[in-house]
Amino acid sequence: MTDRISVRTLFFGVYGELAARREGSAELAADSTVADLVDSLRGPGGLDWLPESVVVAVNQNYAEAGTTLSDGDEVALIPPVAGG
Amino acid sequence: MTDRISVRTLFFGVYGELAARREGSAELAADSTVADLVDSLRGPGGLDWLPESVVVAVNQNYAEAGTTLSDGDEVALIPPVAGG
Amino acid sequence: MPQGSADRVRTWITRESLDDFAQFEDIVGEVGSVEDGALLFFQGRVRRTNRGRAVSRLEYEAYGEMAERELSAICHEALEQFDVGSVAAAHRVGDLALGEVSVAIAVTSAHRDDGYRASRWIIETIKVRLPIWKHEHYENGESHWVGAPTPEAGASTGGSRFG
Amino acid sequence: MPQGSADRVRTWITRESLDDFAQFEDIVGEVGSVEDGALLFFQGRVRRTNRGRAVSRLEYEAYGEMAERELSAICHEALEQFDVGSVAAAHRVGDLALGEVSVAIAVTSAHRDDGYRASRWIIETIKVRLPIWKHEHYENGESHWVGAPTPEAGASTGGSRFG
């Protein structure tokens, strides 16, 4: 039996609208990366509209695609920001 | 008998301090220019400290050395400005 | 006499109005000093016309805690990069009407050049880093998330890997 | 709807305090519009340290009527040169204490780049054109007209023609 981790997912701005949810959770294999999570979100019946280079924050810091996730992480999908 | 004109002279900032007066008047030949006035002010016992390129305003507009003066003009000697 | 960096920065994300100059005047009074010869105060406001469309109102959504942290980080970076005395910056979230202030930045500095440059750098950096999104509502009833790809464009690039 | 240039500029030279932000907030409310997405407010203040000397107070002398006209002319030129909505600018004269505001400039514009550039252009132009002189008084009791040649330097170039 493989070790699994669970992460909390957040969808902001237009992503929240397109995903029809602002929050969710995902189960992943241990040692999964940000890229693995995004791929699983894009999977069959999923968020196939997510752009190629989606910006992600892990625990409220901008993160690279290769960043390894840990159980309990908060992962936010960040559409193009438009403050100011 | 030559036509004469009379102009009002104003000395601002450090010029007022060095000239020991803020206002004065000068009598000049008709058709005198700004440069003629400045030369007469610099004359014997006069304001020999006036710099080579003194800035002058005639009737509250910056004026060139060659500007011809008229009777009753207000001529201000403008030291380096330092507003702001 | 020497002030720590923390004493010279104030930042916040808020649902309350930022329209009033007075709150920034008060902060500058607290964090500025008589060594500051210049104050630069910038306000971004909801403009009626954006890219040719008539805006009726705006909605700003923020990733709240991250936005607080990023805004503070940006202003502390400004204090390190520019010769400025103090920085105060705030960003609105929620519903904004036309003319309301969405972002305000006050910078004090010994010399004005540093103030102009720091103020400009802060607003430009906010626009690329602060996790805040703008939902524009138009007079014709439509709305748009500013900067978002259209759904078609999104679909055409979806499903592939990170670039 | 279209406003004349005169309706969008306010300038004055004054012995009264300019420290309060509120008077500029009021003016911007009068002359600005909902087409302005940016407001830039600049204050120049009396700084304690100038060129390494400890300033105790300042005295500004103005060529009153000419200063009024030049300040108005500068701001109208800004309105022509930059894409800005409104401009308000004021300059103090008389005695100023440390920390007091000597000059204040408010610019509103549709886009922030025009506001930053116009604000900066106005203060730089004020500094070269406005007929106002600054008499700095120092803590050691000395004083100096800023920008003035020293008496010795003046004497050495005096007596000759225009350059």
- List, for residues C132-157, the tens digit of each pLDDT value: 999 999 999 999 999 876 544 433 33
Q: Which residues of A touch C126 (CB under 8 A)?
A: 83-84
User: How high is the pLDDT of residue C122?
Assistant: 98
**Residue C152 included in any domain:** no
DSSP per position, chain B: ---EEEEEEEE-HHHHHHHT-SEEEEEEETT-BHHHHHHHHHSTTS-TT--TT-EEEETTEEE-TTPBP-TT-EEEEEPPP---
Structure tokens at D153: 């330097």
User: How high is the pLDDT of residue D116?
Assistant: 98
Domains observed in chain A: 4-78 (3.10.20.30)
**Residue C158 included in any domain:** no
Percent of chain D scoring above 90 in pLDDT: 83
Least confident of A76-80, B55-59, D50-54, D126-130: D50-54
Beta strands in D19-138 (DSSP E): 38-45, 49-50, 53-62, 84-92, 94-97, 101-109, 132-138
Buried b (16+ CB within 10 A) or exposed e, B51-75: beebebbbbbeebebebebeeebbb
The number of distinct structural domains making up chain C is: 1
User: How high is the pLDDT of residue B43?
Assistant: 86
**Residue C75 included in any domain:** yes
Contact A42 C155 (CB under 8 A): no
B34, B53, B60, B64: which to substitute to probe chain D, counting the most D Cβ within 10 Å? B60
- Residue C163 clears pLDDT 60, i.e. is over it: no
The CATH number of residue D90's host domain is: 3.90.1170.40
**Residue D65 included in any domain:** yes
Contact D151 B76 (CB under 8 A): no
**Residue C65 included in any domain:** yes
Give the Cα separation of C146 and A75 in Å (integer).
Answer: 22
**Residue C153 included in any domain:** no
The neighbours of chain C, by the rule of 3 or more Cβ pairs under 8 Å, are A, D
Higher pLDDT, B2 or C9: C9
Which residues span the domain enclosing C26?
3-147
pLDDT tens-digit profile of A47-77? 999 988 899 999 999 999 999 999 999 999 9
* Residue of D65, D126, D158 lying closest to B42 (CB–CB): D158
Closest by alpha carbon to D91, among D128, D116, D60?
Answer: D60
- Residue D6 clears pLDDT 70, i.e. is over it: no
Contact D151 B49 (CB under 8 A): yes
Mean pLDDT score of chain A: 95
D58 touches chain C (CB under 8 A): no
- Residue D68 clears pLDDT 60, i.e. is over it: yes
**Residue D97 included in any domain:** yes
> pLDDT tens, position by position, for chain B (84 residues)?
569 999 999 999 999 999 999 999 999 999 999 999 999 999 888 999 998 889 999 999 999 999 999 999 999 999 999 999
Contact A76 C131 (CB under 8 A): yes
Closest by alpha carbon to C91, among C5, C16, C9?
Answer: C16
Give the Cα separation of C21 and C36 in Å (integer).
Answer: 19
Contact A84 C127 (CB under 8 A): yes
pLDDT band, residue C162 (cuts 50/70/90): very low
User: How high is the pLDDT of residue D157?
Assistant: 34
CA distance C6 to chain D (A): 22
CA distance C13 to chain D (A): 19
Residue with tokens 């000419």: D66
User: How high is the pLDDT of residue D88?
Assistant: 97
Mean pLDDT score of chain C: 89
Contact B83 D148 (CB under 8 A): no
pTM for this structure?
A: 0.91
Give the Cα separation of B46 and D132 in Å (integer).
Answer: 25
